[in-house]
Amino acid sequence: MKIALLGYGKMGKTIEQIALQRNHEISYRIDVQNISDLQLLSKKNTDVAIEFTSPHSAYANVRFCVDQQIPVVCGTTGWLDKKTEIEQACLKQKSAFFYASNYSIGVNIFFQINEILAKMMNNYPDFDVQMEEIHHTQKLDKPSGTAVTLAEGIMKNIFRKTEWALSPVIDSKQLEINALREENVFGIHSVNYTSAIDTIEIKHTAHSRQGFATGAVLAAEFLAGKTGIFGMNDLLAL
């Protein structure tokens, strides 16, 4: 399979390693230095594009692929105000779009555990829920897309929380997210339920980029030859 890498930073290079190990070919490596090469991508030279860039670049990159009917896997977060527009264009063009806030298999299992716990805790209002996420200092969006997905899973099941907000919160209906940036942290997410008596905590810690990169390549393999809109629940049959 021929894969185009849109974004050739640390994540892009890790994805390249995994893709080559799985006997795929890299058709293009596109970064800020050669962004004009994006126009060279076509269905003839690329089977799937994998997009990991920045919030201000993701929409244009993904939209180009959708319009060219090149299946595209996107892992860039912080641009989701335009995701619905991409999905509509994808359906219109009969293209393929795969989005996840996090491609780690472990994190997606964590998403499921988070929702199950939240559904249980909805019946115990004495427990307040807070979240914390820690990432490397180069991460531009805050909170992380993974934290937002966790927050959405909580709010879907705990009716006393109606919106998320970065610390400090001013309303008990807000789900507090403490977002920290530290050197050399690949991603730590924790959800805490605290009462006057005790605390329940669930936590996921990423030890490297390998999990994210492997998931992205698996998503590309899944997406090749398909049309429609997909996510990790489709890939993992969760």
Backbone φ and ψ for 35, nearest 5 degrees, come out as -60, -25
What is the percent of the chain where pLDDT is above 70? Answer: 100
How far apart, in whole angstroms, are the C-alpha atoms of residue 204 and residue 217? 21
**Using 50, 70 and 90 to split pLDDT, how confident is the model at 176?**
very high
- Residue 173 pLDDT more than 80? yes
pLDDT of 237: 84
Taking a C-beta distance cutoff of 8 angstroms, is the pair 47, 40 a contact?
A: no
Over residues 94-103, the pLDDT tens digits come to 999 999 989 9
List 135, 161, 189, 204, catalytic entry:
135
pLDDT tens-digit map of 7-26: 999 999 999 999 999 999 99
- Alpha-carbon distance of 107 to 104, in angstroms, equals 5
Quick one: pLDDT band at residue 140, thresholds 50, 70, 90?
confident
Structural domains of the chain ordered from first start: 2-103+210-236 (3.40.50.720), 105-205 (3.30.360.10)
Mean local confidence (pLDDT), 114-125: 97
Active site residue 204: no
- Per-residue pLDDT reduced to its tens digit, 55-108: 999 999 999 999 999 999 999 988 989 999 999 999 999 999 999 989 999 999
Burial of 50 (0-12, 13-18, 19+ CB in 10 A): buried
| Omega of the bond leading into 168 within 30 degrees of 0 (cis) | yes
pLDDT confidence of 156, banded at 50, 70, 90? very high
Q: Could you tell me the pTM of the whole model?
A: 0.82
Q: Identify which of 229, 105, 131 has the alpha carbon closest to the alpha carbon of residue 188.
A: 131
Output the average pLDDT for the chain: 95
Q: Is the model's pLDDT at 145 over the cut of 80?
A: yes
Q: Is the per-residue pLDDT at 138 higher than 90?
A: no
pLDDT for res 161: 98
Q: Which of 2, 56, 82, 139 is catalytic?
A: 139
Structure confidence at residue 139 (pLDDT): 84
| 139 flagged as catalytic | yes
- The answer to whether 191 and 131 are in contact (CB under 8 A) is yes
